Amino acid sequence: MNLFEKEEWIRIKAEEFEDATAEEVVKLAVDTFPNITFACSFGAEDVVLVDILQKIRPSADIFYLDTDFHFKETYDTRDQMAAKYGIEFVRVSPKLTPLEQVEAHGEALWTVDANQCCNIRKVEPLTRILSQYDAWITGIRRDQAPTRANAKKVEYDAKFGLVKFNPLASWTSEDVWNYIRQNNVLYNPLHDKNYPSVGCEYCTRPVMPGEDPRAGRWSGNDKTECGLHK
């Protein structure tokens, strides 16, 4: 499939699958692109997609970006899910260790230049791993942030040069939690402590009543995305 054919296929499938279930989108993704991967952050949306993938294509690759700065609860969730499903999550690490980052850029880079920290610990490793695949699956939802409002269930990811599937794009937070409860899915316990969105420990705080669900990410900064999506 050349680029023109791929873009036309994406346009058609985006329209065709707009009202499809998450399971139908996942099946389309894994059936069409055998060389596909799922990016898992062990947040609520992603544990749902792990469960769906295990029912449809348990052999599909699942990776996570190990920034070295995740909460203990996130690593515990990873280990519990690996044991429950018999998954070997692919660990993708930054080129710089935390100590090497300090030596190159100073202490607590995230407080000085959060974008650069995200580029080192997330964007570069993601670019590296995605270069090995033809398509990827993500857990983004349209109502998470204005930057995600126009996400399609099937789209071309120009940033990374591959097809991107967002099976939960039309879901609400309530949809996510209904699935978790109904299917007894393991989830990060930080969600029970006012963390609707979980990122690195140094850049994530609890969200207070009335705040935007993404307010806990890079608090006090106008940054709303780590650079993985757009």
Q: How confident is the model over 89-110, as pLDDT tens digits?
A: 999 999 999 999 999 999 999 9
Q: Which of the residues are catalytic?
A: 226
pLDDT at residue number 208: 80
Using pLDDT thresholds of 50, 70 and 90, give the confidence band for residue 220: low
pLDDT at residue number 229: 46
Is pLDDT at 214 greater than 70 in this prediction?
no
Non-local (6+) Cβ contacts of 7 within 8 A are 156
Is pLDDT at 221 greater than 80 in this prediction?
no
Q: What proportion of the chain, given as a percentage, has pLDDT over 70?
A: 93
Summarize pLDDT for 106-121 with one digit per residue, the tens: 999 999 999 999 999 9
Higher pLDDT, 16 or 225: 16
Give the pLDDT mean for 70-79: 97
16, 23, 131, 135, 137 from 124: Cα distances, Å: 33, 30, 11, 17, 18
